Homo-oligomer: A and B are copies of this chain.
Amino acid sequence: MIHRQEITELLKSPPIGEDVTVMGWVRAWRGNRFMVLNDGSGAETLQVVVNGEDFPEETIRAIGFHACVGVTGELIESQGAGQAVEVIAKEITIYGGTDLSEYPLQAKSQTMEFLRENAQFRMRTNTFSAVFRLRHALAYAINKYFHDRNFYYLHTPIITGNDAEGAGEMFRVTTLDPADPPRTEEGAVDYSQDFFGKSTHLTVSGQLQAEIGALAMGKVYTFGPTFRAENSHTSRHLSEFWMIEPEIAFADIDNDQDLAEDFLKYLINYCLDNYRADLEFLDARIKQAEKNMKAELRRPMGLIEMLEFTVKDDFARITYTEAINLIQRSKPYKKKKFEFPVEWGTDLQAEHERWLVEKHFKKPVIVRDYPKSFKAFYMRLNDDNETVAAMDILFPYIGEMVGGSQREEREDVLRTRMKEMDVHEDELAWYLQLRTFGGCPHAGFGLGFERMVMYVTGMSNIRDVIPFPRAPKTADF
C-alpha cells in the first residue's frame, strides 16, 4: 500500500510542523535546491527545499523537469517569497527512469504542434493541465446542471443503422474483409452479411433517439462522442468530438431558448466560481502571447473579461429576418467590408455573427426563425411556411455556440418535409410513430463540447482541447 498526501488537500489547511509525504512531477528545479512539485490533484504546486548535502549525488542528478519524485519532510512556513508553505526534504524517492537527458519536453515552452505529437507528456505542462482540468470541470457541470433539474442522461447509440441523420459525412463500421467482401449476385457488396446485417456507420448526432427519450421521460440529455468524416484540416474541426444534446417534451422554441441561455451561463459561472486559478493562468498566457501580435489578430477581450461579458446580461434575441436587416444597415456592409454576401435566404457567416455580437449588441445573441431552405427536415415549420423554429446562439470570437430547434410534431407536416428533403420514410418509421402516438410539442439543442472548452480556455486550436485528437490522417495514441 502506498500512502501519500495530495497537494491540493494538504494546502487547504497545511499541518505546519508535521511531516508530510507528497509525490508528483517536478515543474521547476532551481539552483539545485528548490523543487516545485505538482501531483495533478489541482493547479497548486508545493515547493520542496532540497539540501544537497543530505542526499546522494545520483538523487540530486535525477531531479529534473518532469521527473517523478516522492518526498517526505517537514512542512514549514516558507522562508522565501512566492509561497506560504514549503517542505524540507528528509527522504526523496525517484520514480521511473532516472535519466531525463532524452526526455522530449524541455522546461522552456514548446510549440503546440510539438506538444500534440508528444501527447503522452503534454498533460504535464501548466497549460495543458489547466485546459484538461477545465474540460473536466465543464463535463462535471453539464451533468450536475441537468441532474439537478430532473433531466435523465441518455446514452444514444454510437453505431447507427440510420443513414438519415443528415448532419454530415459518415464513417463506415464493418467487420467485412475489405480485401474480399461478400458480393450479391449483382456484384455489389453484400451488407446483409456484415456484422449487424446491414450497412452501419458512426453516429453524427443522438438527437433523433433523444426525442424517444424526451417523449417518455420528459427531459433527457445526451453527452457522447459524435463523428464527421469530412476532410477538414481547420483549427475548428475534429473527426471525433463530444456533443451534448438536451431534448425536452412540452416545450416550444421559447422554452428552448430559455433553457440554452440558462445552461450556457451556468457552465461559465461554474468555471469562474470554481476554477479561477486555472482561468487566471490561461488569461495571462494569452495576454503574453498576444503582446507581439497585430491588433486585428488579438482577441476582442481578455479571457476572463469575455467569460464575464457572456454571463452578465440577458442574451439579445432576434429573428433571422431582423438580423439580415441589421447587417444590411451596418457600416461594414455599406463600406463593403464583409467578404460574404448578406441577403435573405443565405446563411449567416462568422463575420456577420461576430459583428452582431461584438459590435452591435455587445452581448451574446440568439437568432431564430431561419429560412427552411438550409435547415434540417425535423425543424418545426412556422406559420409563414417559409421559416422554421430554429435558433442559433452566437458568442463573441467563436460565432455559433449552440444550434437548436423546436421539432416538427405534426405528422403530416413532417411527412411532407421528409419528402421534400428526400429523407426516406421507411428508415424512420419509428420517428414518424413518435408523432402518431403520444407525441407533443418538444424541442432541443446541441452544444459541441470542444467548442465550449475552447471558449472557456481560450485555446485557439480545437486539437488542443481534447486529449487525443482525431482528424484526417491523424489517429495517434
Which A residues have a C-beta under 8 Å from some C-beta of B? 1-2, 4, 6, 8-9, 23-25, 39-42, 66-68, 70, 95-97, 100, 102-104, 119-121, 123-124, 129, 132-133, 135-136, 139-140, 143, 147, 150, 152-162, 169, 171-176, 178-179, 181, 188-189, 195-198, 200, 202, 209, 212-219, 224-225, 227, 229, 231, 239-240, 242, 249-252, 254-255, 258, 409, 411, 430-431, 433-441, 466-468, 470, 472-477
Contacts and interface: CB of A to CB of B under 8 A. Distances in A.
Given A124-B438, A475-B157, A97 B411 contact: yes
Contacts of A120: 212, 430-431, 433-434
5 contacts: A23-B250, A95-B439, A96-B435, A123-B216, A158-B158
Given A189-B178, A218-B40, A477-B209, A439 B68 contact: yes
Nearest to A197: B473
Given A195-B239, A430-B120, A175 B171 contact: yes
B103 A437 contact: yes
Contacts of A250: 2, 4, 23, 39, 70
A208 to B, nearest CB: 8
Contacts of A4: 250
A399 to B, nearest CB: 23
Nearest to A105: B437
Contacts of A100: 437
Given A147-B140, A150-B9, A178-B178, A477 B249 contact: no
A329 B252 CA distance: 67
B42 A212 contact: no
Contacts of A169: 175
A132 B154 contact: yes
A153 B103 CA distance: 26
A6 B248 CA distance: 12
A140 B155 CA distance: 13
A121 B213 CA distance: 9
Contact of A23 (B143, B150, B213, B440): B440
Contacts of A179: 181, 188-189
Given A66-B437, A68-B439, A6 B150 contact: yes
A24 B218 contact: yes
